[in-house]
Structure 1
Amino acid sequence: MLGWLAACCLAIVVPVSTLLVWTDPRAPRSLSERLVAVWRTSAETLRLGGVTGAPLRMLLSVFLGLIALLCVSTLVGVITTGLGDHLEELRRGRSRVLEKGHAVVLGWSDQVFTVVGEMVLSQVGRVRGAVAVLADRDSAVMASDLNTALGVVTRGVRVVCRTGEPTDPAALALLTPAAAHCVLVLPGDDAADDAEVVRVLLALRALLGAGAGPPVVAAVRDERFLTAARLAAGARGVVLDVESTTARLLVQAARQPGLVRALRDLLDLTGAEFHVVHAPDALGLTFAEISLRYEEACAVGYLAADGRALLTPASSARCGPGDRLIVVAPDDRPPVPEREGTTVDLSVMAGPRDRQRSCSKTLLLGWNRRAPLVVGLLRRTAQPGSLLHVVTGSDDGSVTAGASGPTDDERVAVSYRVGEPTRPDTLRALDLFDYDTVIALGPDAGPHRARPDDQLLLTLLTLRAVEEESGRALPVVAELTDHRSLALAPLGPEGDAVVRGELTSLVMTRIAQSTDMAAVFEELFAARGGSLALRPASCYVLPGRVASFATVVASALRLGECAIGYRAHDACTPRREVDVRLAPGKTERRAWNSMDEILVVTPSEAGAHSPAAAYGERTTRPGGLPEARRGTDGRPARGPAPE
């Protein structure tokens, strides 16, 4: 090859050099001088030096030229190979992350887009803000997927993808988690991947130590791994249960249409959200005084010095030393008190209403891992005499296992029917408009179901056709697996959809930003803690009257609730698409009508004698964390629980 290459070069260079010399008017006259000129031109072209004289000198010049050419070619080859290897290493995602104060995301699932998007927002404004993702996938593919989902513009925050096993401490070291601001561990798309989450937490412990490093927030899908994951996470770790949270959100959305959008607005990092703030000026004030003291912050409770949260305290409960305020506000800066007192119009406040809670009739279409949790929640929280009708396909197996046993008080009568929810004849055989709520579930993801949302979309399409034929709206709540299916779901005006794991992802990012929020969400999403509810504005102010939001807050306080926002009625827009205005100014005045809704935090244990019962509301929880104990004074109890 080298010989043929040299021959080809000479066959081109020598004739062209000869032609250049013979066509030069200033060329020598003699043949020998012209041949020397041809040699010099050819030698300069081939970088051989062009030395003339004795044949030995010319051969030595050729030898040195070849050596120089070989050295230069070798150097160029070494540089090219080194650069290629380095670029390939970068493409494979094996280089070390050098940033500090960045966010680390471990694992890849349908939650990664929500988590990374929220963490990008949290890194805005930081010097060299970055979000580092580590998963056993090609880094170029991960970067492409994230850029497609989040958009190219990330407000100056770098999204760095690295390839490796998150369970390998050597791969974890590439992300320098010790210098990170927080670490989030995502569960896989299948419940069998929860063991991987425990291994990742153990790998972090092996790399950072038992009590060192940044806060770690993780999630599992199977509650059987919850205890093991919390032990592996250690004292600085928080572990959430995805399945229980999703099931409670489904029940919450089914009983209070439109609450899903309100929860998204309240938990994401855009607009107002929950914060724990220091407010020295609130020391010694009652909660009623604090609630009306700040213009752009809605107080919902106290975070005690021992870390326990108390939501919706009594109006007379005073802010003690070491207590911090739990507020809904645009940012976590200390709220600024108003110089002038906020006017409350007592004449437009609505009086309490005595309405009994009615029994419900619910239709559950489909079955998956969360269905037994949904059935259990409906049984425990519904009024006695309620009915639950379950329609599942023949390939769903035994759906009655663990779900059809009798409850202690027999609140709900459960009936089962075999039928494919995707078939129009199955749904048309049901009296759909006789149900208060329709909950539609899709099958679990698996190797034979690449897109489990397809069956659910068929069910929703059939339900939508029934709505259009009858001219009536169905209160449908659907559970989707892929966030991209949300835009495709054919939902009616009263329909809503819950993306599995989305709420848990938002809670994870909020806790990762501030570990104090773990106690707040523990109380907010506990089985008996304070909860969120959307109530008609007529429960607080007289319809058609003009009143400030401070009047709404004061009216809610009289009922033991905390008003944190409102949603104005829009007859032309489906309720699920109307945003909730969070933490509006206390002095904001508007004419309230009976269709407007107020977003409130309700007191704990909202039973038959609470204000929730007076309004006929059915409140449940979208989460499942342990209840914080309280003392006899209504504040969080200190010390170990009594045996």
Structure 2
Amino acid sequence: MKTGSHWRARLRYEFDKSMAAGAIALMGWLALISLIVIVLAGIFLALTGIAPEGGEPVSFIEAAWESLMRTMDAGTMGGDIGWSFRMVSLVVTIAGIFVFSALIGVISSGLENKLDELRKGRSRVLEADHTIILNWSPSIFDIISELVIANQSRRTPRIVIMANKDKVEMEDEIATKVDDLKNTRIICRSGDPTDLYDLDIVNAQTSRSIIVLSPEDDDADSRVIKSVLALVNDPKRRTEPYMIAAEIRDAANAEVARIVGGSEMQLILADDLISRIVVHTSRQSGLSAVYSELLDFDGCEIYTLEQPELTGKPFGTAVMSYQASTLIGICDNNGAVHLNPPPNRVFEAGEKAIIISEDDASIKLDAGKTTVAQSLILPPVAREQQAERTLILGWNRRGPIIATELSRYVAPGSHLTIAAETPGFVDEVSTLQIDRDIMTVDARSIDTSHRGTLNELDIPSYDHVLVLGYSDTMAAQTADTHTLITLLQLRQIAERAGKHISVVSEMIDIRNRQLAEVTRADDFVVSNKLVSLMLAQASENAYMAAIFGELLDEAGSEIYMRPISDYVTIDKPVNFYTVTLSALRRGEVAIGYRKQNDADPDPRRLGGVVVNPPKALMMHFNPDDMVIVLAAD
């Protein structure tokens, strides 16, 4: 009994295992049942000699065929004659109905399970030369839009996205918020970007580049670092280095991230990038348009590529050798970036040129003769830096970086007032590491959208006003609405005072920028948009993070806007070759100009900013027009 029970239990266990194996196993059991019924019916008919009334007995093969037909089609038995044959056919047909009904159910269930599996986005990607985006954040839509523009010249470009989010939800959001994907196809997968098994789904080994976004989590930086660690140290990784662009919020985590990513990763410090651009823009109206032009793919971009024709040439001579492009620096053979090096710095073999151009096809040395009007070039004008009064309205986690960065550029005796309603910000301001001999700081806890409290600040007495969003304590749309109210109040204060107030505002959502333009602020720095542009560029150019690191570093060469009347005589037409040479004599590189009150339509809303103009084109400049230069100070 014990042996019999053991075998029954064993058979039941094996049967249960086979039934749990899925649709294929179930179909196998149904096929076996059908075969048994058909064989038994064939043997029974062959041995008993039962045949349709008036017919001859059939062989086993013929009987099995008749049984198969009745199993597959219940209507076949309708023409049977003779009760003995009818009873056998009825049994076979009933078994067939059971088998095929069950088979339909199994197939339907299998298809449904397969669709559910596909909906989860867990199948492995078999693309090659694709761009991978890990994690999900509001920046992803701008990144996709920029990559779509960059991909137009490529064949069958692909963007693969993996995040801890439902695949269908991701696809629906992208379809809603990205207008035109052109020739780019988006492939979404659900998974954990910090898990080695899940990362294998996106097939990083054959990727073109990888973007690691900062997710909307409390511990976002740790997740980014872990994702990079998983990519770089995957036992199955490729031998060639990856091209990774990773976003980090807190600069305190940057060193660990660099150790993990090494030379394969470009690190984008999101808060640091936004803060520095806000500071630079607040001191020079229109500068945000220059940064946007350099960062987006719709217009001029920064390229880093070898130019063998420049070997042995001084940098100053090389700058004057391009008519449709602007040479701004050198990337040496060690990978170090040098923006605006000394004009006598000679290009060595193998070094790369850093060039602003419409596209890489237009980067070529000018074969024609350079025409420069030497008589129109003016000598340098010395301008003494004056102490400034700056007001910051609003506060968020970028506030301390902005205040500290601002203190590095102002003249001694400057003053900064910070007014906000963020809880505890006054104590945070008191701990800022700022040289009070250079810039004194005053913090006031007020409602920055209330007209009465704004009037008490005497806003027209300030040289610059920065409006920051309350992004740490409010949702994006609520914070932008609060910012819009503040900007409208500032506009009315300026109108009543009859004075232009230099206002730069931080916006969180790009969709609110056009609405905010009615406030007539000088510049809008859109936080998420800038980070998106930077990540997209870094995924295409391995030197982009280093280039912008120097552009925004007080120790390197930065972008300035200066009166063009300081460089050339403007009472007659002048070409940009002449402006470029005038800048070179001051140790600067001219990269463009800004025309005030430009009558030409500006569909891209760059405020009259033109980067990388044709150098041979003759132009008329007005006293209010500015030249955009790359300079050390």
Which TM-score applies when normalising by structure 1?
0.81
Alignment of 1:23-62 (within 5 A): 47-62=75-90
Name the structure where helix makes up a greater proportion of residues.
2
Q: Which residue of 1 aligns with 2:552?
A: 525
Aligned positions, number: 560
Structure 2 distance, partners of 1:214, 1:477, is 38
Q: Which residue of 2 aligns with 1:180?
A: 207
Q: Which residue of 2 aligns with 1:77?
A: 105
RMSD: 2.7
Deviates more, 1:422-431 or 1:102-111: 422-431
Q: Which residue of 2 aligns with 1:588?
A: 617
1:197 positional shift: 1.3
Alignment of 1:145-294 (within 5 A): 145-151=173-179, 153-189=180-216, 192-207=219-234, 213-294=241-322
1:226–1:406: structure 2 CA closer, same or farther, 3 Å change rule? closer
1:118 positional shift: 2.1
Instruction: Find the residue that maps to 2:282 and give its secondary structure.
Output: helix
Give the partner amino acid of 1:286: P
Structure 2 distance, partners of 1:93, 1:471, is 60
1:472–1:160: structure 2 CA closer, same or farther, 3 Å change rule? farther
1:146 positional shift: 1.8
Instruction: Find the residue that maps to 2:219 and give its secondary structure.
Output: helix
Q: Which residue of 1 aligns with 2:470?
A: 443
1:535 and 2:562 matched = yes
Give the partner amino acid of 2:612: A
1:211 positional shift: 7.0
Alignment of 1:602-621 (within 5 A): 602-603=631-632, 606=633
Q: Which runs of 5+ in 1 are unaligned?
A: 1-42, 607-643
Does the Cα contact within 8 Å between 2:404 and 2:433 map onto a contact in 1?
no
Identity across the alignment (%): 30
Does the Cα contact within 8 Å between 2:74 and 2:96 map onto a contact in 1?
no
Does the Cα contact within 8 Å between 1:48 and 1:66 map onto a contact in 2?
no
- One of 487, 504, 518 as aligned partner of 1:477: 504
Deviates more, 1:420-429 or 1:58-67: 58-67
1:597–1:150: structure 2 CA closer, same or farther, 3 Å change rule? farther
Structure 1 distance, partners of 2:256, 2:413, is 39
1:270 positional shift: 1.9
Does the Cα contact within 8 Å between 2:324 and 2:357 map onto a contact in 1?
yes
Instruction: Find the residue that maps to 2:245 and give its secondary structure.
Output: strand
1:451-485 alpha-carbon deviations (Å, 9 max, x no partner):
43333233223223434555654322122223333
Structure 2 distance, partners of 1:381, 1:258, is 18
Give the partner amino acid of 2:225: V
- One of 109, 119, 139 as aligned partner of 2:137: 109
1:551 and 2:578 matched = yes
Q: Which residue of 2 aligns with 1:341?
A: 369
Structure 1 distance, partners of 2:266, 2:238, is 14
1:12-40 alpha-carbon deviations (Å, 9 max, x no partner):
xxxxxxxxxxxxxxxxxxxxxxxxxxxxx
1:79–1:472: structure 2 CA closer, same or farther, 3 Å change rule? farther
Structure 1 distance, partners of 2:562, 2:218, is 36
Does the Cα contact within 8 Å between 1:47 and 1:69 map onto a contact in 2?
no
Does the Cα contact within 8 Å between 1:275 and 1:328 map onto a contact in 2?
yes
1:135 positional shift: 1.0
Alignment of 1:294-443 (within 5 A): 294-333=322-361, 335-393=363-421, 395-401=422-428, 403=430, 407-408=434-435, 410-443=437-470
Deviates more, 1:141-150 or 1:331-340: 331-340
Structure 1 distance, partners of 2:591, 2:504, is 25
Give the partner amino acid of 1:530: S
Instruction: Find the residue that maps to 1:401 and give its secondary structure.
Output: helix
Instruction: Find the residue that maps to 2:491 and give its secondary structure.
Output: helix
Greater length-normalized contact order (CA 8 Å, ≥ 6 residues apart): 1
Structure 2 distance, partners of 1:58, 1:585, is 95
1:180-213 alpha-carbon deviations (Å, 9 max, x no partner):
1111111134663211212222222342559755
Structure 1 distance, partners of 2:368, 2:477, is 60
Does the Cα contact within 8 Å between 2:167 and 2:188 map onto a contact in 1?
yes
Structure 2 distance, partners of 1:303, 1:270, is 24
1:136 and 2:164 matched = yes
Instruction: Find the residue that maps to 2:519 and give its secondary structure.
Output: coil
Does the Cα contact within 8 Å between 2:596 and 2:608 map onto a contact in 1?
no
Deviates more, 1:277-286 or 1:487-496: 487-496
Deviates more, 1:580-589 or 1:568-577: 568-577
Structure 1 distance, partners of 2:571, 2:75, is 94
Q: Which residue of 1 aligns with 2:52?
A: none
